């Protein structure tokens, strides 16, 4: 981060459930904060705390050199950037626009090209950690853009995030967020399946939830296995083979036991069945060392 970027004025567009707590972390930013939302009333607490409020994204761009956008979807992001009152109407060359909304990676690339025509730098910078993470300043930000933009943004992003990852060129931040949320929502679906099994077995769901949250906080949950650079099959001589082979063996045993319990209770567990058939291959240890030696 350069001395100039450490005091660059920041603009923030979109003060919804995620945008507002992120923007609040920027109220003390040395370069000042300009906010904008279609609902005038949500800007009032920011003005009371010292921020400037303006009516549209074009006015944000007259005051800010770094502009964060947290709106709902691709259409709104496109309107904020390229609409009649959009950022590109007034943005000065060298302005950096960071979109925290989760949009399509192709949309990100298309908007980056539009911005480049005006010498404005676009980055996709989706976040993970939810509103609680934003309030604590502990979000993860996944940036798709140039290394120079990452450096430019590190100061203001550091106000609301304690993990900033440069995922690659424009679009890469979005692709990383989609992979992360794939795990997130499949895990929710699996949690619902686990609750059905527990309920049928007479287990208290609230107590089960306590155990899951406690143990995931200790082990790291599903992310604990995301330590390799590739998903290719692991050679038996590799350091990771016995570690992930142990995960496979425990997983296959416990999944089989859960499926047997589900059969006895008349509960269908389609995700568990799929997990049993896919776990070993997914871990890269579908073939055991013994099998490989004797084949």
Enter the tokens of residue 51. Answer: 């921020």
Q: Which long-range contacts (CB under 8 A, 24 or more apart) does 137-140 make?
A: 137/25, 137/161, 137/162, 138/162, 138/163, 139/22, 139/163, 140/164, 140/165
> What is the per-residue pLDDT across 123-177, written as a single tens digit (0 to 9) for each?
999 999 999 999 999 999 999 999 999 999 999 999 999 999 999 999 999 999 9
**What average pLDDT is seen over the chain?**
94
For 5-175, CATH number?
3.40.50.720
One of 3.40.190.10, 1.10.1040.10, 2.60.120.260, 3.30.499.10 is the CATH number of 227-294, namely 1.10.1040.10
For residue 293, is pLDDT > 90?
A: no
Catalytic residue among 17, 177, 210, 253: 177
How far apart, in Å, are the Cα atoms of 202 and each of 97, 152, 171, 189, 205? 52, 55, 46, 20, 9
> What is the per-residue pLDDT across 57-82, written as a single tens digit (0 to 9) for each?
999 999 999 999 999 999 999 999 99
User: Residue 148 has what pLDDT?
Assistant: 95
Band (7; pLDDT cuts 50, 70, 90): confident
pTM of this structure: 0.89
Rounded distance, CA 13 to CA 23, Å? 9
Q: Is 177 a catalytic residue?
A: yes
User: Residue 163 has what pLDDT?
Assistant: 98
Task: List the domain boundaries for the chain.
Answer: 5-175, 227-294
For residue 83, is pLDDT > 90?
A: yes
């Amino acid at each position: 981060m350069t001395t100039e970027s450490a005091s660059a004025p920041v603009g923030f567009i979109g003060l919804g459930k995620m945008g507002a707590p992120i923007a609040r972390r920027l109220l003390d930013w040395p370069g000042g904060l300009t906010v904008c939302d279609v609902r005038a009333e949500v800007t009032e607490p920011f003005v009371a705390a010292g921020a400037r409020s303006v009516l549209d994204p074009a006015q944000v761009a007259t005051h800010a050199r770094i502009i964060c956008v947290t709106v709902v979807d691709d259409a709104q992001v496109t309107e904020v950037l390229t609409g009649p009152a959009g950022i590109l109407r007034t943005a000065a060359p060298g302005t950096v626009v960071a979109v925290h909304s989760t949009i399509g990676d192709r949309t990100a690339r298309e908007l980056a090209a539009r911005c480049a025509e005006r010498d404005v730098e676009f980055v996709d910078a989706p976040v993970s950690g939810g509103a609680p993470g934003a309030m604590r300043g502990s979000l993860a930000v996944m940036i798709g853009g140039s290394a120079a933009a990452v450096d430019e943004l590190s100061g203001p992003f550091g106000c609301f995030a304690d993990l900033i990852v440069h995922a690659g060129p424009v679009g890469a931040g979005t692709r990383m967020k989609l992979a992360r949320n794939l795990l997130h929502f499949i895990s929710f679906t699996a949690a619902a399946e686990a609750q059905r099994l527990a309920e049928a077995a007479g287990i208290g769901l609230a107590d089960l939830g306590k155990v899951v949250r406690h143990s995931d906080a200790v082990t790291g949950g599903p992310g604990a296995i995301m330590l390799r650079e590739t998903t290719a099959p692991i050679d038996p001589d590799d350091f990771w083979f016995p570690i992930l082979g142990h995960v496979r063996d425990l997983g296959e045993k416990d999944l089989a036991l859960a499926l047997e319990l589900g059969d006895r209770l008349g509960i269908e567990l389609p995700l568990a069945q799929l997990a049993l058939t896919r776990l070993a291959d997914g871990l890269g240890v579908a073939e055991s060392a013994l099998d490989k030696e004797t084949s």
